[in-house]
Structure 1
């Protein structure tokens, strides 16, 4: 079992129609409209709604940033890589995935998942080792997007990229030192954006496995962006290109 905390993550869990919380814990004496709605929705789905002092919720969540609500739910179910590709085919759109190479900060992972869901990606791929997983902190940072954006966890990232290439997906790594701008890469085709870790970027083996390597153009004095910012900008470029492909007569931004 795992815990999920925060108003938005718990709300999205209940909206998604997936796992039913075994228990929903609310801080005793706190009854905002948002918490009352969560309690009603949880009861409607058969969850036990309980109240406890704030310090008990602190212990359940492992943090005091739970906003007065903690859900106890079954362990997060990671998807298989092929499930993400099937979801894209079912949507009738060219696959768009985000592959993360060793993101260790759960806040960054959650932010990437949030951007991926908001900007139309069909899923996120992470490695099993030396990387953040879908923890309660990551779920909180995603504002509940983990309940809508599937995450696949793979043993070998380079092999996963080869599998994507076999499935007709072009793999594009982001690197601040690349000669090619991401705006020069055709992202209207099936695409997997590969984003490197906070410190080391995309590892050499993973970089060599990718079809293309592109940079995000910057004008400021800071040499690089963090992983979640890079992912959001790259995803928006995909959205921009695919939008223009559907409507070639649209004016340029």
Structure 2
């Protein structure tokens, strides 16, 4: 669907680093330059909700945890097990030098990526989100947060033209990465066909959809497809959907930021499917 371009939607990002490549921070700057000790393939987590949810997740392997004295005390008070190294705040600031606007709240972690589920073994109930080249990590992080709130089974993105599940995205997701698996695929249209063969109904969100999402016949398992800011769904993606739906707005502004559109679509879909009770 047509959406308002976000601030700072710049260079495309890619998911997990390939061997020999460090993760890139916001704006494409290489984090290894600011902190040479980062390991290839490391997921960077910072901020209270992001790191505390990772510590609660038994499947997340933490390689390094740094905390200020106050942050470590809060972890202890909330009964969150940890093996944090107590450091001054400037040490965490130094680690995040490539992301100068990072709000870390005294917590920083280096972790391993979570295992991705097999696309062919998606649950036969509930909802998936498919992201068609949405590149801004703030937007994708906000989508992840909404997905976690509405019990989305997984988020499917492409290997290219998608942000890395680390750093800014993880902070924007506010702990949601620990609850919604990420599946990366080479070709989104092919993944959509595989999901259809598995019984999924594929509904794309588009401002020119044939009917409002409230009027489209829905069933589970359901896959909702969201397009990039400004460009919307690509032509092949549109053609591969079973239906195209729009979200009608009563006010003067008829378009939404893609993360807001995702939240509204999930609310509408899970309500109609009886998945919120």
TM-score by length of 2: 0.78
SS of match in other structure, 1:42: coil
Q: Are positions 1:59 and 2:94 aligned together?
A: yes
List per-residue Cα deviations over 1:62-117 (Å, max 9, x = no partner): 4441111101212344433124x1xx24xxxx241000101111111111111112
Hey, what does 2:111 align to over in structure 1? Answer: 73
CA RMSD between the two structures: 2.2
What's the CA shift for 1:38? 7.3
Which residue of the other structure, out of 206, 212, 216, is the alignment partner of 2:237? 206
Q: Does the Cα contact within 8 Å between 2:133 and 2:158 map onto a contact in 1?
A: yes
Q: Does the Cα contact within 8 Å between 2:144 and 2:173 map onto a contact in 1?
A: yes
Hey, what does 1:178 align to over in structure 2? Answer: 209
Q: Does the Cα contact within 8 Å between 2:72 and 2:86 map onto a contact in 1?
A: no
Larger helix proportion, structure 1 or 2? Answer: 1
* 1:42-57 matches, cutoff 5 A: 42-43=82-83, 49-57=84-92
Hey, what does 2:268 align to over in structure 1? Answer: 237
Aligned length: 233
Q: CA 1:32–1:18 in 2, change beyond 3 Å: closer, same or farther?
A: closer
The unaligned stretches of length 5 or more in structure 2 are 1-41
Q: Does the Cα contact within 8 Å between 2:158 and 2:186 map onto a contact in 1?
A: yes
The unaligned stretches of length 5 or more in structure 1 are 44-48, 248-253
Structure 1 CA distance for aligned equivalents of residues 80 and 261 of structure 2: 39
Structure 2 CA distance for aligned equivalents of residues 116 and 57 of structure 1: 29
Q: Are positions 1:41 and 2:81 aligned together?
A: yes
Q: Does the Cα contact within 8 Å between 2:43 and 2:110 map onto a contact in 1?
A: yes
SS of match in other structure, 1:112: helix
SS of match in other structure, 1:160: helix
Q: Are positions 1:24 and 2:59 aligned together?
A: no
Structure 1 CA distance for aligned equivalents of residues 80 and 243 of structure 2: 49
Q: Does the Cα contact within 8 Å between 2:120 and 2:198 map onto a contact in 1?
A: no
